Structure 1
């Protein structure tokens, strides 16, 4: 059960990072601040990559569970 909680916490943190990046990117667009826009884009992409990693871990766990049942 501990692994599930950690995975959920990681997923929430990754989504929050993605949303923070989107907010920075939008603020950069509004203020015409290319540096803030780029920083937001990087944060958003990093959050998305981490979420993809979580999905791969989930898929691997499902495959492992299917063979151990």
Structure 2
């Protein structure tokens, strides 16, 4: 997983956490949902990068 991909995934998760927290504080269900979506996006990016890294490790041997 490259450094820029790690930063991008972590940024999505952080942005999602912030959106969700603000949405909960203000009672904005749409913003809570957007926050959860951003967090899921970050999780998927991380999972995809881990899969690429694992495949690369298998084929490098």
- Following TM superposition, the consecutive aligned residue runs of length 4 or more in structure 1 with deviations greater than 6 angstroms are none
**Cα distance in structure 1, aligned partners of 2:42 and 2:59:** 26
Picking from 43, 48, 51, the partner of 2:46 is 51
Structure 2 stretches lacking a partner, 5+ long: none
Q: Residues 11-69 of structure 1: CA distance to partner in whole angstroms, max 9, x if unpaired?
A: 11111111100110111111111011011011110111111000000101111111xxx
The equivalent of 2:3 in structure 1 is 8
Query: RCO (CA 8 Å, sep 6+): is it higher in 1 or 2?
Result: 2
Aligned residues between the structures: 61
Q: Secondary structure at the match of 2:46?
A: helix
> Larger radius of gyration, structure 1 or 2?
1
**Runs of 5+ in structure 1 lacking a partner?**
none
- What does residue 65 of structure 1 align with? 60
